[in-house]
Structure 1
Amino acid sequence: MNDKVLAAGSRDEFGEKLQQKQKISQMITTILNDTDFTPINTPLIERESTFDKYQNKNVFRLFDQVGENLVLRPDLTLPIARFLSANRQQNSMSRLYYIGDVFRRTDSLSGDYNQETQAGIELIGDQSFEAEIQALDTMLKFAQEFGIVDVQVVLSDARFIDVVLENLQLDQDLRQRMKQAIEQKNVSVFEELRATIPDFPEGLAGWPLAFGEDGETVMWQLQEIPAVNDIINDWLKLAEYTHKHYPAVAVTVDLAAASPQPYYTGTIIRGFVPSLGRYLFSGGRYDRLLENFQNKSLPAVGMGLNIETILADWRRKPEEMKPQEPIVMVLGKGRVEKDARPLLKAAGIDTSLLENPARKLIFDSTDGKYRFILVKPSDVVKYLDRGIGDVGIVGSDTIAEQVQNHYDVLNLQTGKAEFVVAAPEGFNLDTPTRKRIATKYPKIATEYFSNRGEDVELIKLEGSVELGPLTGLSDAIIDITQTGNTLRENHLQVYDAVGPVATHMLVRAGALLRFQLELTKVINNLVNILKEEEQ
């Protein structure tokens, strides 16, 4: 074992970058100490119960000397809530700030780091809307101090989607499915559900993409709902304050935003940097902050400051500050790209250079709006996750087997196929005996059999899955079929349909805000084209 090799996901920091990081921390400390914030530092190691509502798969677990479950803290807000519950009175008001490291498990070989530095503020015990204004003002002052000139304030609310859906008087199941489609900006699923709701408001027809200018248009149409009007009035207060004190900062809304954490109860404020395609700050009101630790709640507004975004801005070279960059579209080579090309062209994208690609893999459209990258389908998601691509087009089978860090916006209805359970004649899918299943798609297979309440032996294959039952390696397979010819040629029968497969359009979260006008136009054009094809 090489003792010089770091643990997976860890890194050493030194030299210029560390000096810049230290400078950022010093600036944060100086500014907040001068504005009557009190520093707080919590232990790196906490009881596991502190993070009961946290995503458990991301947590590093430890045991103390008496066997108690501990974790390396994956977040700093909940430890502060734990501290407040134990040490402060319910009616007390305080202004706290923190700078510290957090630890989160990452996927093996992902290139992500499992340790990062967080900074942020907590305004505790203040029920007034003045707390939201103070929090936003503090973050915008930081943007000025750090020289980040193109920050954009994006406003949303943890209550908004629920309030509007409740006003539509939908049953609980449909309401939950609608909420999920809206938050995930899944236009295809939203359209399917919307079609089942009589008299659905026309103004909300594009709800998953109701952010930026489109969101502001929809916002004004919902004022007749009293609870929505209260939310809008709060947004207007924040916008008015920002325009008065920071006239160069744009303010917009996102009517489809998901709540960052379950304990959020009101306004959500994010600071987006379009030229970087990432957030500088985010947070909002969470009056349920202490519910993990006691029955009573405590008003609180918190904002986190992304130190990595500040570093990325500081370390940019002048040539990287381009006024207009192309939208990078990553397409799966072969049938995916070939089938998607006519749709993209009909939606208004110049795809002429893709028609004769020869051996090239990167193309710029003649109008300069798009850059196309052709890659192996399994690599499409990786290009999006690393920030290289803005839009990805690939089969849903590939998407299903990879981590979802993007919006699955649209089912393009090309490359249609079906996941199936197939086996030789005489196979019994309902037998209680443990089955051996060969597949290229372990996540799909695991979900299918888990939903059936079965524990099976999965055998991951890369080549011809049909050989599994024929050689005795497996009892059955889960695979994709379009015509069924390959299955019949290998004397296999379909015993159950697992789910549909088609080509999907993915969009990186930051790209939707950065290229909102162009991408919204293209997505809406595609929705209309697909509707016409169905008729």
Structure 2
Amino acid sequence: MIEEKLLSAEEKAIFSLRTLFAKNDYKPYKMGKFEEYDFYVRNKDFLTSESVITFNDTNGKLMALKPDVTLSIIKNYKDEETDIKRVYYNENVYRISETTHAYKEIMQSGLECFGNIFLKEKIEVLMLALESLSLIAGGKNFVLEVSNIGIIQKLLESFDNTEAVYKCISQKAVHELDTICPSDLAAKLKKLVSINCKPEPAIERLAEICPNAFELAELTIIAEVINKSKFKDNVVFNFSIVSSMKYYNSLLFRGCIEGLSDAILSGGQYDKLFNKLGKKGGAIGFAVYLDLISELSRPKEVSKVVNVALPKGRLGDKVYEVFKKAGYPCPEIEEDSRKLIFENLEVGIRFFWVKPSDVAIYVERGAADIGVAGKDIILEYKPNVYELLDLGLGKCRMCVAAPKGFVDDETKTLRVATKFANTAMDYYTSIGRSIDIIKLKGSIEIAPILDLSDVIVDIVETGTTLKENDLEIKEVINDVSARLISNKANFNFKTDEILRIVSLLKEQIKND
């Protein structure tokens, strides 16, 4: 008998989850640490990152350390006469962390249900996801967000630019939908994305958008089951949860625990992937990211005060004025002081000043619930956050500029000087142009003059600096302005407070 005090939090969670899964007739599944690299290349869209750790085996074959468990289980699953196969696992995967952008070993525990699955099995898996969250939360508040990607797929059946729409939906960036979709489709999608509430009211709102959808009938039954369970206060329907249309076809869900800056559980129904790999029937499952459990033991204040990261400088001053007029004043912030943190507990707000390029980091990591970042920062660093509102402040454009009369010689590699290396690379990749990135910290405009580069990619506000250096705009990559962003996990636990801020800010912007 192992003494409990000798076990780490992760080990305790593994034993608890293993017991839970086994009690529900799930059988243990063990697999190797690597697969052929080609297998992951063929299914790269299913992976959270295309980057995998590779090596050559003794026969010279290119192998990869597992970046995913589900793919390996499906590959080795054999169709049998039994209707349903249930398995659970405890495995390590190796992938690039979304926050550190470095390779990381991630401990996972999870389950998969294969075969002739119907609504009964889907509900079974959802309830086990809730039980899993309850076990590892240790008394802390937790939420399971549930969506059905089939609804979005049906709305987008006759629309081509689905990738851009999916990006807007996943970020709750409803203000961008009007520029991408026809007005009637944008209106429906806005209503859908705005649903972020308990199952019963969510079903009522969903019925107005897709009254005859099979998915609505299925979600209605799920809502009824949840409402009768002990977890009725732990579930929200949130239709901004999306994933690859190539692989997922129905339920998607994500589990968060208060105090963690990211989801600790994710899952969904992936019949398309199951069938693509030559298997019959359907499949649904979820994974628990055990590496996040250690974060739960760190002391962290839990309160309904909304933490707001503001960018230092002129933009931050303008943003604070909007907050102040909207009903969130903090008189202390206006005093001549070196302080960086200010709060007004009467209105439930805490502001802190940070470097503009760091706002997204504070929000993504959960130190701030919401923050204001320029669209240029969001495009460059791609933080995993919600983009709730375009404040319309600090308007400018991300542009390609070059000396007057410059003609691009497409037989040569284009030299691009910029502070925004990722944005530049994304843009030129989208048009199939080979480039050499020259990353600079400042004085970008002189790079073409001194023949360091052919063109530059930079923020342009008035264009005066370009003109004074004999440069002109060649292409506009994106319009830029200040955006209100939110941590996705924290949003679940301060939903009403954050949405109230969004509503009041929106009204104030309209009145200014």
Asked if these proteins are the same fold (TM beyond 0.5), I'd say yes
Letter in 2 for 1:207: L
Contact residue 274 and residue 282 of structure 2 kept, 8 A: no
Contact residue 306 and residue 497 of structure 2 kept, 8 A: no
CA separation of 1:98 and 1:453: change in aligned 2, threshold 3 A: closer
Instruction: Please give the secondary structure, in 2, of the residue aligned with 1:159.
Output: helix
Unaligned runs of 5+ residues in structure 1 are 1-14
Structure-1-length-normalised TM-score: 0.84
Q: Does 1:460 align with 2:439?
A: yes
Distance 2:185 2:374 in 1: 33
Q: Does 1:131 align with 2:121?
A: yes
Instruction: Please give the secondary structure, in 1, of the residue aligned with 2:64.
Output: strand
Contact residue 151 and residue 213 of structure 2 kept, 8 A: no
Letter in 2 for 1:83: N
Match of 1:96 among 81, 87, 100: 87
Contact residue 93 and residue 125 of structure 1 kept, 8 A: yes
Q: How is 1:222-261 mapped onto 2 (pairs within 5 angstroms)?
A: 222=209, 224-240=211-227, 243-244=228-229, 246=230, 249-259=233-243
Q: Does 1:312 align with 2:295?
A: yes
Residue 184 of structure 1, CA deviation: 2.4
Residue 328 of structure 1, CA deviation: 1.5
CA separation of 1:229 and 1:495: change in aligned 2, threshold 3 A: closer
Match of 2:144 in 1: 153
Q: How is 1:408-447 mapped onto 2 (pairs within 5 angstroms)?
A: 408-429=387-408, 432-447=411-426
Q: Does 1:197 align with 2:176?
A: no
Letter in 1 for 2:490: A
Residue by residue over 1:7-60, the C-alpha shift from the partner in whole angstroms, topping out at 9 and shown as x without a partner, is xxxxxxxx9796332222223333433443211111111122433323453311
CA separation of 1:152 and 1:113: change in aligned 2, threshold 3 A: same
Q: How is 1:22-421 mapped onto 2 (pairs within 5 angstroms)?
A: 22-51=11-40, 52-54=42-44, 55=47, 57-84=50-77, 87-89=78-80, 91-106=82-97, 110=100, 114-146=104-136, 147-166=138-157, 171-173=158-160, 177-193=164-180, 196-198=182-184, 205-212=190-197, 215=202, 218-222=205-209, 224-240=211-227, 243-244=228-229, 246=230, 249-259=233-243, 262-276=246-260, 278-294=262-278, 296-313=279-296, 315-317=297-299, 320=300, 322=302, 324-356=303-335, 358-367=337-346, 369-421=348-400
Distance 2:243 2:442 in 1: 42
Match of 1:8 in 2: none
Letter in 1 for 2:126: L
Give me the CA root mean square deviation.
3.1
CA separation of 1:392 and 1:232: change in aligned 2, threshold 3 A: same
Match of 2:465 among 486, 489, 499: 486
Unaligned runs of 5+ residues in structure 2 are none
Residue 248 of structure 1, CA deviation: 6.7
Letter in 2 for 1:212: C
Residue 510 of structure 1, CA deviation: 0.9
Instruction: Please give the secondary structure, in 1, of the residue aligned with 2:90.
Output: strand
Contact residue 146 and residue 235 of structure 2 kept, 8 A: yes
Residue 326 of structure 1, CA deviation: 2.0
Q: How is 1:514-525 mapped onto 2 (pairs within 5 angstroms)?
A: 514-525=493-504
CA separation of 1:226 and 1:428: change in aligned 2, threshold 3 A: closer
CA separation of 1:278 and 1:110: change in aligned 2, threshold 3 A: closer
Give percent identity, aligned residues only.
26
Distance 1:341 1:162 in 2: 39
Letter in 2 for 1:97: Y
Contact residue 414 and residue 436 of structure 2 kept, 8 A: yes
Instruction: Please give the secondary structure, in 1, of the residue aligned with 2:394.
Output: coil
Distance 1:158 1:420 in 2: 35
Match of 1:5 in 2: none
Letter in 2 for 1:270: R
Residue 419 of structure 1, CA deviation: 2.6
Contact residue 330 and residue 342 of structure 2 kept, 8 A: no
What is the aligned length? 502
CA separation of 1:220 and 1:272: change in aligned 2, threshold 3 A: farther
Contact residue 96 and residue 102 of structure 2 kept, 8 A: no
Residue 316 of structure 1, CA deviation: 4.4
Contact residue 123 and residue 302 of structure 1 kept, 8 A: yes
Residue by residue over 1:192-242, the C-alpha shift from the partner in whole angstroms, topping out at 9 and shown as x without a partner, is 456x425976x76443332115745522434622324323323224324xx
Residue 456 of structure 1, CA deviation: 3.0
Contact residue 157 and residue 267 of structure 1 kept, 8 A: yes
Residue by residue over 1:43-78, the C-alpha shift from the partner in whole angstroms, topping out at 9 and shown as x without a partner, is 111122433323453311122222222111111111
